[in-house]
Amino acid sequence: MNRTATAVGLLVAATLALTACSGAADDKPADPKKLDDAASLACDDFARGYKAAQTQSARVDLANKVNKWAQQSITNNIADNATALARGSEASPSAWKLGADAFAQSCLDAGWKA
């Protein structure tokens, strides 16, 4: 029992040490209320491609492009709404519109500017 507890303790300590080392170079914690680089790229791609995404195939392609960046973001609601955008891209045009509106709003809420 003690060996297991010791092993778990060492594993936790090692994980915490690795997590601490993987922080940003300036050691400032990221602010999830502000647009990070990945969110900015996702929002830019979405804005550039939204009007042209008239077919289901084009919507799926755009959602995949947006999600490539959005899933790397810690900005509030970006990853979740990009996932909803992807689901909507494979569904009806009204589902796409709902997902697109939610994603666009999350970009604006985080401070994204066109």
Q: Give the C-alpha separation, 104 to 35, whole Å.
A: 13
Residue 104 has pLDDT above 90, yes or no: yes
Q: What is the DSSP letter of 28?
A: P
Local confidence band at 52 (pLDDT 50, 70, 90 cut-offs): very high
The model's pLDDT over 29-48, given as tens digits with 9 standing for 90+, comes to 578 888 999 999 999 999 99
Residue 38 · residue 65 · CB < 8 Å:
no
Residue 81 has pLDDT above 70, yes or no: yes
Residue 75 · residue 32 · CB < 8 Å:
yes
What φ, ψ does residue 43 adopt, rounded to 5°? -65, -40
H-type helices in the chain, by residue range?
A: 2-21, 37-49, 56-70, 78-89, 93-109
Local confidence band at 14 (pLDDT 50, 70, 90 cut-offs): very low
Percent share of the chain, pLDDT over 90: 69
Please state, rounded to an integer, the average pLDDT across all residues of the chain: 81
pTM of the model: 0.73
